[in-house]
Amino acid sequence: MRLITKKSEIKEILEKCFVKYNQNGLNILVTEIHLTILSNKVKFPILEYCAEIIYKTLPENQHILFCDKIQRLKTEGGNVLLGIILQKRLNCDFKQSIEKATEYIADANIWYVCDIIGERVFGYSLLNEPKKTIPEIKRLSNHKTNWVIRSLGAGTHYAIKKGLKKEDVAIMFEILLSMANTQDKEIRQGVGWASKTTAKFHPDLIELYKENIQNKEQVANWFRTKIDIGLNRNSYAKRN
């Protein structure tokens, strides 16, 4: 297994892949990317750069078809490609990007699919287009698949960490609170992650919602534990 650590390396590999694409079409491109990139060890920032090149090089009408084929391969790195390509498409087709991210995550067979795509699509969209994205997250918080709900937590964590405005964090925290009584392991993981980040960056919001958080009929102990961890991290950061 080859270790790929440089943008220059990935660019050279991709150029060869696209030569074969120009000769033989999309299926060959997917096969070559699978063999030469996704079957090797590639750091996520390099994969993100790879996805940007693919997005720019492939005709727009083949983006989703390419993503569908990559998703079926079920590789960890493939999720980075999916996340970035869908992220890039948010401006031209917001609805389709959200729907495709949801579809791929719902079909997950392991936790990291949720987190990789959730941060890069839901998180990025929430950070940059909160008014459009919050209603989608609220809708998806009732999704039948726990992987999808976990991914919303990953996305919310990303957006808060990157500077989501406080008024939008408050709305998101109310959505998190609506899921704070679940016992599903995957949902707890995502919701707990986002709640911990809320407490770390916005302890004043935790004070504001203190009564809701302490409601033991509606909020499970695991949620309060995550909040406490976040508050402790906030205190530790202030000391340093």
Distances (CA, A) of 104 to 64, 97, 190: 12, 11, 17
Euclidean distance between the first and the last CA atom of the chain, given in angstroms as a whole number: 42
Residue 177 domain flag: yes
Residue 160 domain flag: yes
Per-residue model confidence as pLDDT tens digits over 75-87: 999 999 999 999 9
Residue 100 domain flag: no
What pLDDT is stored for residue 1 in this prediction?
Answer: 81
Phi, psi angles (nearest 5°) of residue 58? -70, 140
3-state secondary structure of 238: helix
Is residue 117 located within the same domain as residue 74? Answer: no
What pLDDT is stored for residue 239 in this prediction?
Answer: 72
Residue 98 domain flag: no
- What's the rounded Cα separation, in Å, for the pair 172 and 77? 29
Range 128-139 average pLDDT: 98
What pLDDT is stored for residue 208 in this prediction?
Answer: 96
Residue 105 domain flag: no
Query: What residues make up the domain containing 20?
Result: 1-89
Amino acid symbol at 160 = I
pLDDT-derived band of residue 240, with 50, 70 and 90 as boundaries?
low
Is residue 79 located within the same domain as residue 117? Answer: no
- What's the rounded Cα separation, in Å, for the pair 200 and 206? 10
In this structure, are residues 192 and 151 in contact, taking their beta carbons and an 8 Å threshold?
A: no
Is residue 120 over pLDDT 90?
yes
Residue 192 domain flag: yes
Amino acid symbol at 196 = K
Residue 83 domain flag: yes
Is residue 128 over pLDDT 90?
yes
Round the average pLDDT of the chain to a whole number and report it.
96
Is residue 134 located within the same domain as residue 32? Answer: no
Per-residue model confidence as pLDDT tens digits over 164-187: 999 999 999 999 999 999 999 999
Is residue 180 located within the same domain as residue 146? Answer: yes
What pLDDT is stored for residue 125 in this prediction?
Answer: 98
What pLDDT is stored for residue 16 in this prediction?
Answer: 97
What pLDDT is stored for residue 216 in this prediction?
Answer: 94
Structure pTM? 0.95
Structure tokens at 148: 């999808």
Q: Which helix H or strand E contains 220, and what residues bound it?
A: none
Residue 216 domain flag: yes
Is residue 47 located within the same domain as residue 118? Answer: no
Is residue 65 located within the same domain as residue 128? Answer: no
Is residue 67 located within the same domain as residue 170? Answer: no
What pLDDT is stored for residue 238 in this prediction?
Answer: 72
Is residue 161 located within the same domain as residue 83? Answer: no
What pLDDT is stored for residue 235 in this prediction?
Answer: 81
For position 131, which CATH number holds? 1.25.40
Is residue 149 located within the same domain as residue 227? Answer: yes
For 89-112, the DSSP string reads: TTTT-HHHHHHHHHHHHHT-SSHH
Closest CA to 106 of 148, 64, 75, 77: 148
Per-residue model confidence as pLDDT tens digits over 17-67: 999 999 999 999 999 999 999 999 999 999 999 999 999 999 999 999 999
